[in-house]
Amino acid sequence: MDWASVSNDVLTWLVQILKTPSPTGHTDEVIRLLEQEAAALGYAPERTRKGALLVRIPGADESRRRFLTAHVDTLGGMVKEILANGRLRVHRIGGYAWNTVEGEYCSILTGDGRTVTGTILLHNTSVHVNREVGNTKRTDDNMEIVLDARVKNADEVRALGIEVGDFVAWDPRVEQTETGYIKSRHLDDKASVAVLFGVLKALRLSQTVLPHAVDVLVSTNEEIGFGGNSNISDDVIEYLAVDMGAVGDGLKTDEHVVSICPMDGSGPYHEGLRRHLTALARAHQIPYALDIYPYYSSDASAAVRAGADVKHALIGPGVANSHAYERTHIDALRATFDLIAAYLQSDALDG
């Protein structure tokens, strides 16, 4: 399984899915896209009742399986109120602060399939009118979407097809730099989804027979806490969540490594599986960092909370500025790919 053979595909898939809106609760379009890609690679993807995508990979041992997840749902919003002045109030989907999206372009995804664009702004945001702009706390009650339409009241907004309950997607603003960085919203966790599809293609190209069967789940509800807690068969022994590694003060992870997480806000991950992954990274000279994330949980956490009797672990590419305008590097994508490839080909599964 060779990164060089799939690296261009990984970047192509990443840009494609980053540009496909998928706030939690509105993921059919991106799942349909990934379903087509998986089928084109020769797999037989299955849709779950919750709208996720499951790909089953055979192995020499079909009785004991591994389970990998990455989530394609993202932060976003939902129209909460149509104001009398023709602006919108929004309820946030996922955990982020208003200041991380202030001034961002967005799309309102209407129930009849239309898209209406706009910008999220503080109420009375002009400094020429409001001298307290810099001191005003951004809250649910004073952040508003200004539509790119000539509307002056709620009836004119509704005439555009907009209604309470419509989803709001933030503009990802995808950019690839000549130095190998990828800047975009929603690299959490579309970067990992693209890497997993790179693994799926590499398996086909190399015709590798894995020691154990593997289920790959692209989950769709991770940002609200229950993305990967179902569709886990009884013969799954190990569960590996592939999600972003956070970058910040007191942490070793950066945008050029794969993060291996011993513990997050949900508690410790399985020690044996985590140490196995760390040993593989060392043996294969894969750049990695061990970090604890106190304000984090994963699909693997959700699975264990739901009662799955599995060994669980968390890895992912280093991503800076999480839940804001994020950035990673192709080095981190490669390191994550290499660690997954080494893990899937290892025969250390027991239990």
Active site residue 35: no
d(CA 221, CA 200): 22
Question: 192: closest CA among 238, 253, 258?
Answer: 258
Other beta carbons within 10 angstroms of residue 112's beta carbon come to 9
d(CA 3, CA 26): 31
Which residues contact residue 124 at a Cβ distance below 8 angstroms, ignoring those fewer than 6 apart?
A: 130, 133
- Specify the amino acid at residue 111: G
Token readout for 293 is: 């994330």
Is residue 153 within a helix (H) or strand (E), and if so which, with residue range?
none
Report whether 33 contacts 17 (CB < 8 A). Answer: yes
Greatest pairwise CA separation for the chain in angstroms: 70
Q: What is the DSSP letter of 23?
A: B
Token readout for 265 is: 């806000």
Instruction: Kindly give the pairing relationship between strand 210-219 and strand 59-71.
Output: parallel
Q: What is the DSSP letter of 325?
A: S
Residues pairing with 88 in the sheet: 82, 145
Catalytic residue among 104, 222, 238, 255: 222
Is residue 32 within a helix (H) or strand (E), and if so which, with residue range?
helix 28-40
Question: 185: closest CA among 197, 175, 193, 177?
Answer: 175
CA dihedral 83, 139, 106, 11 (to 10 degrees): -160
Which residues contact residue 86 at a Cβ distance below 8 angstroms, ignoring those fewer than 6 apart?
A: 147, 151, 152, 153, 154, 156, 157
DSSP SS3 for 225: coil
d(CA 173, CA 277): 33
Catalytic residue numbers? 222
